[in-house]
Amino acid sequence: MFEQTTALSLISPEPEHLIAFVQEADPRDLKPDTITLTRMDGHHNDVYAVEVPPCSDPRALPRKSVLRHPRATTGIGPMEAECRVREDILHGLRTPRVLHFGYLPLPGVQSPAMLEEYIDGEPKPFDTLTGTEIISLADAIKEVHERTSGYFSSTSGQEPTCTGTYGDYMGAMVAESVTGPLETFDMRPYSQAEQMVVRGLRKLECLVAATPEFSIPAAFSLLHRDLSWRNVLWPDGAMLIDWNATYGDIPDDLSYVLVDNQVPPAFEEAFLAAYAPTPEVLARMEAYTYKNRLDDMMWAIGMQVRYGAAYDAVYTQRFEALQALLEGSDR
C-alpha cells in the first residue's frame, strides 16, 4: 500500500540565504554584491535568475543560471527525487542541466535548492504551437516518462517502495492533497467550494471503481507535474523547466497538458497521436483530471488562507475550473 503524509509549511529564505547558496556553488570567493538575484515566475517553486561575474574557470558558474527551491515543505521530497533522477538518467533530455544541488542554510528546515542551466527561450501558449512543435513537446515528455519508467518501484531500490495498485496510489494522493486538507482547514468561509469538492470526490471514487486499469500493480515514472505552457521554453524545440517533480502515474502529467492548458481538440488529437499513450494510460486519464482539479482547489484554499487577497484570483480560477468540470459531467 501507499502512505502519504500531509504537511504544508512555507519555506521563506532571506536574500542572504540564497546568496550563500550561490557562493557555495562557485569555487571563487564571490562577494555578495557581485551576485544579482531576480525573482521570476514560479508556481510550486520559488525561482530566481542568477547573474555572477564571467570567469574562464570551467568549475565556475556561468554568467547566468537559474536558482529554484520548493515554496513549501511538501516540495522537499519531490525536488530531492527530481535531482537524483536527473543526475542518474536524464542527461541529454530536453530539460536544463543541473549545475549544483544542495540545501539552503535555513534554521530549522533542510530545504533543497538547485542551480540550473539558464535557457534562452520564450514560452508559447500551447494553442499557438505548430504541428512540428506539438510533436517536439510530446517527444520531450514521453522521453522523460520512458527513460524513468519503473525507476520508483519495489525492485528498483529507490524510494518510495511501491507495492500497491494504481488505485491504491490514487487513494493515497487524494488523501494527501484533498481529503487531508479538507479535514484540516476551516472550510466555513468556503462552503460552496467544499460542496463541489465533495461532489468531485464521489465522482472520482466512481471513476476509479469502474476502471479496471486502476487494479494494475503500479510502476512509476518521474513526472513534471506542472506542464503548463509557461513551463516550456522554445530555444530550438521544447525544453521542460520549473519542475514540480514527483514519482507517479503517467496520465497525471498528460492530464495537466490537455486540461490545465485548456487546449483545443485539434491540439489534443495531435499531441496524443505524437505521444501514443498505451490503452491502459488512456483509460486512467479522466480520473486524473478530477484528481488534479480537486487538488488545485484545495491548494488554492490553502494558499489563500496563508497569503490572503494575493491568491484571490488563483482561488477564483480554480473554483471556476472545478465547477466547469462538474457541470460538464452532469450533462
- The position carrying cell 514527483 is 246
Record the pTM.
0.83
Domain 15-117 and domain 126-330, same fold? Reply is no
* Stronger pLDDT, 4 or 25, i.e. the higher one: 25
Q: Provide the residue ranges of all domains of the chain, joining segments of one domain with +.
A: 15-117, 126-330
Write the CB contacts of 166 (distance below 8 Å, at least 6 apart in sequence). 213, 214, 215, 216, 218, 249, 284
Write the pLDDT tens digit of every residue in 77-122.
778 877 777 777 777 788 888 899 999 988 888 899 999 999 999 9
Q: Where are the beta strands (DSSP E) in 9-57?
A: 36-40, 45-51
List pLDDT tens digits, range 232-286. Answer: 999 999 999 988 777 889 999 999 999 888 899 999 999 999 999 999 999 999 9
Checking if the pLDDT of 2 tops 60, the result is no
- The CATH code for residues 126-330 is 3.90.1200.10
Contacts of 71-74 with C-beta under 8 Å, sequence gap 24+, read: 71/10, 71/11, 71/42, 71/44, 71/45, 71/46, 72/8, 72/9, 72/10, 72/11, 72/44, 73/7, 73/8, 73/9, 73/10, 73/11, 73/109, 73/111, 74/6, 74/7, 74/8
Q: What is the pLDDT of residue 162?
A: 60
Cβ–Cβ under 8 Å, residues 67 and 45? no
Q: Give 172-227 pLDDT, tens digit per residue.
A: 989 989 999 999 999 999 999 999 999 999 999 999 999 999 999 888 888 888 89
CATH of domain 15-117: 3.30.200.20
Per the prediction, the chain carries an average pLDDT of: 89
